[in-house]
Chain A
Amino acid sequence: MRHGLTLRIGPATFRIGSAWRTPIEALARLYAAYPDGGGTVADFTVRLQPTSTLRRWVRPSIFITGDHGLADAAPMSLAHGLLAAEMGMNLQMALGWRRHLLLHASSVEKDGRALVMTGESGSGKSTLAALLGERGWRLMGDEFALLDLDSGAILPFPRLVSLKNQAIGVVADAVAPDRLGPLLRATAKGDIRHMVPRADAVARMSEGAMPALLLFPRFGHEAALRPVGQGEAFMRLTQASTNYVALGEPGFAALTRFVTGVPACAIDFPTGDAAFEMVGRLWEGGA
C-alpha cells in the first residue's frame, strides 16, 4: 500500500497500510513514544483501503480490513481515518488474538496489582481507566485486558485511549494538549478524541500484574454497590471475551481461576468523583 507504519502495542505488532497519507501521519504523531515496530514481523496486517476506486479521490471512503475483516463493515469518512486505523487494530485483536484470553475490559495497576473493569460501551469503564491513569494508577488499557493463560496475570494493551462524547471534556481538562488527537465529530459512536497514555504506561507495556479486583461499572445511575458472585462474573466475562470459545479448555481454566481468585463488584455511579470514592474504598478494603 502507498502509506504504511508498523506499531507495537503490548504483546502485539501491527502493520497498518493505507491508501491515504493522513491516517498514517496521525498514527505516527500519537504513537511517537511507542517502541519502533520497524524491522519486526507483524502479527497482524491492517488495511485502510478505498471502498471503490472512485472513493479514493472523490468523497474518500475507507473500508477497514486486514488479516481479519468483516465483509459488511460500514465505510468510514477519511476525516475519521485515525479512528478507522484504531478500529482496524481492534478488529484484528478481537478476531485473531489467541495468546491470551481477551477481555473487553479496561485495566489499571497500582502496587503491582491490577483493577479490571468491564461493561458495555457507555458504561464508563474507559473513562474511569483514563482518569485513574492520571491519578496515581498505571493505565494498562482502556479496551482490552489480556489474561495470561499460564500465570493468571493481566497484561497491558495500552493503545490510545478512545474518549467519547462527554468524556472528552472531562478528560481533556486533565491532560496536556500534546497528548490529545484531533476531535473527530459525528462518528458512528458520536464524537471521539484519542488520548496518548502517560509515558509510564507506554514504557511498562510489557509488564503485567496479578488481578486484585473486578468491577462492573455503570455510569449515570444513583451510587450503588453490589457484590457479584463467581457464577455471574464468569458468565459476564465469557460474553465480554471475543476469543473465549476459540481458546477452548485453557480459556475455561484461566477464566475459572480468575473469577475464583478475584473479588467482583458492580458499581453504579453518577459522577467521576463518586466513582473514585467507591473504587478507593473497595481497593483499600479487601481487594
Chain B
Amino acid sequence: MSAALLVRVLRDPASVEALDAAGWTGLLAAAKAERLIATLAWRIEGRQLPHGVKPILLDARMDAEREARQALWEADRAAHALSAIGVRLVVLKGTAYAAAGLAAGQGRFIGDLDILVPRAAMEAVERALMAAGWEWVKEDAYDDAYYRQWMHELPPMIHAERDRMIDVHHTILPLTARPKPDAAALLADAVAIGDSLWTLSPEDRVIHAAAHMLADGDLQGGLRNLWDIHCLLHDIDRSTLDRRAARHGLRAHVRQAERLADALYGGGAALTAWDRVVRARLLARDGWGRETRKLLVFACYLRSHWLRMPPLMLARHLWTKWRKGHRPR
C-alpha cells in the first residue's frame, strides 16, 4: 500500500511528519520504484525529517539535476544537428519541462530525448541525426518496418559517444490507435523557449501527457505521468483545454486525466468505475517497491496492445514477436 502513502505525501507534504522509520523506508522504496524520489524530495523540502532521510533525498536531487543537465545538453546537440536542415526542435515531456523551468520538471527523472518534427521532414531529420553521430539501437527488420509503417516515431536511436537515446516523433499516438491527434496543430502552436528549442503549448502539453498515459501505454510509471499532469494543469484554463482536447480527439482521455490528477494529487474528484480501475493499477506498489495486483497489471499490459492495434494486426504482431522469443515481463 505504499504507493498510496506516496500519493498522500505528495498531496499533503505535512503528513510526512507523522511517519516512523518503517513508514519512511516504505515511502522511499515506493518513491524510488515509481521514479518519484526526487520529486518527493522537492515536495517535502523544509519539513521535519528523521535522521538519515535528508542525505537520501539530497542524493536523489543531485541525480535529477545531473539528468536534467544532460537532457538539456542532449537537446542542444539535437537542435544543433537539425539547424542545418531548417527544422525547429520541439522537445516533449521531461526535457520540455526542464527547459521551460516548469514545476513538472522539478526533480523529474528524464530518460530519452523525445522530439516532435513534421512527418514530411522525417527522412531529412533521420539523415541529419545520423550525420551528427546518432545510430540505430538495434537492427531488426521486423521492428524497423513496424515502426516506420505503424508507429508515431522512428525506431529509437542512440548517440554513439554520449550513449543517450532519442525518439523522433511525428505525432503523439501510434497511427494504429483510434484517436487521431492533429499533429500539424501541435507544431503550429508550439512555443519557443530560448533561442533554439520549442515546446508544445501549455494545453497541448497536458493533452500529450494524458494521451501518453491513458491512450497508449500499460500505465507503467503512471504515478509519475499523473504527477506531470497535475503540475501541468496548474496554469491552465480547463475549458480551453477541453476545446483543444476535442480537436485532437482526446477529450475523454484528458477528462479522465483531470479527474485522476484531482483525485490523487489535488482537491478530489468524483471517479467513474473505470477511473477506479485505473487508480487501482496506479497504486499497485508495496512498501518493498514491489509491483502488486499482478493480474490487473497484466490486464493493463494486454490492454496497451489492444489500444495500439486492431485485433487481426495484434494477433499477427504477437505471433511474430512470440516466434522471436519475446515474452511479456
Residues of A participating in the B interface, judged by any CB pair closer than 8 Å: 1, 13, 15, 17, 39-43, 45, 47, 49, 66-67, 96, 98-99, 246, 248
Structural contact, B24 and A45, CB atoms closer than 8 A: no
Which of B49-57, B125-133, B233-241 lies at the binding interface?
B49-57
In the bound assembly, the distance between CA atoms of A66 and B287 in angstroms comes to 11
In the complex, which of the residues A1, A43, A96, A248 contacts B52, with contact meaning CB atoms closer than 8 Å? A43
Query: B25 contacts the other chain (Cβ, under 8 Å)?
Result: yes
Q: Please measure, in the bound complex, the distance between the C-alpha atom of A40 and the C-alpha atom of B24, giving whole angstroms.
A: 9
Decide if B21 touches A45 in the complex (CB within 8 Å). no
Contacts of A66 in B (CB 8 A): 289
Contact across chains for B289 and A45 when beta carbons are under 8 A apart: yes
Interface stretch, picked from B58-66, B211-219, B267-275, is: B58-66
Cβ distance A24 to chain B, nearest Cβ, rounded Å: 14
When the two chains form their complex, are residues B290 and A41 in contact, meaning their CB atoms are under 8 A apart? no
Among B25, B51, B59, the residue within 8 A (CB) of A15 is: B25
Interface residue? B28 (CB, 8 A): yes
Question: How far apart are A69's CB and chain B's nearest CB, in angstroms?
Answer: 9
Q: Mark B31-69, 1 if CB is under 8 A from A, else 0.
A: 011000000000000000011110110010011001000
A-contact 0/1 string along B281-303, CB 8 Å cutoff: 00000001110000000000000
- Decide if A98 touches B62 in the complex (CB within 8 Å): yes
Q: Nearest Cβ distance between residue B253 and chain A, in whole angstroms?
A: 30
| Given A40-B52, A41-B56, A67-B24 contact (CB < 8 Å) | no
Residues of A within 8 A of B51 (CB): 40-41
Query: A1-B288, A17-B288, A43-B52 known; A67 and B29 CB under 8 Å?
Result: yes
Residue in contact with B289 in the complex, picked from A40, A67, A96, A246, CB distance below 8 Å? A67
Closest to B33 in A: A67
Task: Check B63–A41 contact: CB distance below 8 A.
Answer: no
**Given known A41-B50, A248-B66, contact A47–B55 (CB-CB < 8 A):** no
- Find the B residue at minimum CB distance from A38: B21
Residue of B nearest to A42 (CB): B25
Known: A39-B21, A41-B50, A41-B53. 10 other contacts (CB 8 A): A1-B288, A15-B25, A40-B51, A41-B25, A45-B25, A45-B28, A45-B289, A47-B289, A47-B290, A96-B59
Residues from chain B with a CB closer than 8 A to the CB of A47 are: 288-290
28 A–B pairs (Cβ distance < 8 Å), ordered by A: A1-B288, A1-B290, A15-B29, A17-B288, A40-B21, A40-B51, A40-B52, A41-B21, A41-B28, A41-B50, A41-B51, A41-B53, A41-B56, A42-B25, A42-B28, A43-B52, A45-B28, A45-B29, A45-B32, A45-B288, A47-B289, A47-B290, A49-B290, A67-B32, A67-B33, A98-B63, A99-B59, A246-B63
Cα of A139 to Cα of B84 in the assembled complex, Å: 59
Bound CA–CA A96/B32 (angstroms)? 11
Residues of B contacting A248 with CB < 8 Å?
A: 66
CB proximity of B92 to chain A, nearest CB, Å: 25
Query: Which residues of the other chain, B, contact A98 by a CB distance below 8 angstroms?
Result: 59, 62-63
The number of residue pairs between A and B whose CB atoms lie closer than 8 Å in the complex comes to 48
Give Cα A39–Cα B21 distance, bound, in whole angstroms. Answer: 6
A17's nearest neighbour on chain B, judged by CB, is B288
* Closest 4 A/B residue pairs (Cβ): A98-B59, A41-B52, A41-B24, A45-B29
- Distance, CA A98 to CA B52, complexed state (A): 14
Bound together, the chains give a CA A41 to CA B32 distance in angstroms of: 14
Identify B66's interface contact among A40, A42, A67, A246, CB under 8 A. Answer: A246
**B29 and A13 contacting across the interface, CB-CB below 8 Å:** no
| In contact, B56 and A43 (Cβ under 8 angstroms) | yes
Per the bound structure, the CA–CA distance linking A175 and B25 in Å amounts to: 36
Contact A13 B52 (CB under 8 A): yes
Bound Cα distance A60, B28 (Å)? 29
Alpha-carbon distance A41/B51, docked complex (angstroms): 8
Distance in angstroms between the alpha carbons of A47 and B26 in the assembled complex: 13
Bound Cα distance from A45 to B22, whole angstroms? 12
A287-B118 Cα distance, complex, nearest whole Å: 64
Chain B residues near A67 (CB-CB < 8 A):
29, 32-33, 289
Interface residues of B in 80-99 (CB under 8 A from A): none
A245 to chain B, nearest CB (A): 9
Neighbouring B residues of A246 by C-beta, 8 Å:
63, 66
State the CA gap A273–B62 with chains docked (Å).
45
CB neighbours of A1 from chain B (8 A):
288, 290
The listed residue with most A CB atoms (<10 A of its CB), out of B50, B51, B66, B288, is B288
Bound-complex Cα distance A41 to B290 (A) = 18
Nearest opposing residue in chain A for B53, CB measure: A41
B288 neighbours in A (Cβ, 8 Å): 1, 17, 45, 47
Residue-wise, chain B 66-81 has the 8 Å CB interface mask toward A (1 for contact) of: 1000000000000000
- Distance, CA A17 to CA B288, complexed state (A): 8
Complex-state Cα separation, A1 to B290, whole angstroms: 9
Give Cα A43–Cα B29 distance, bound, in whole angstroms. Answer: 9
A66 to B33, CA, bound (A): 9
CA distance A66 to B66 in the complex (A): 22
In Å, the complex CA distance between A45 and B27 comes to: 11
| Whole-angstrom distance between the Cβ of A1 and the nearest chain B Cβ | 5
Q: Chain A contacts of B25 at CB under 8 A?
A: 15, 41-42, 45
Instruction: A284 to B63: give the CA distance in the assembly, Å.
Output: 42
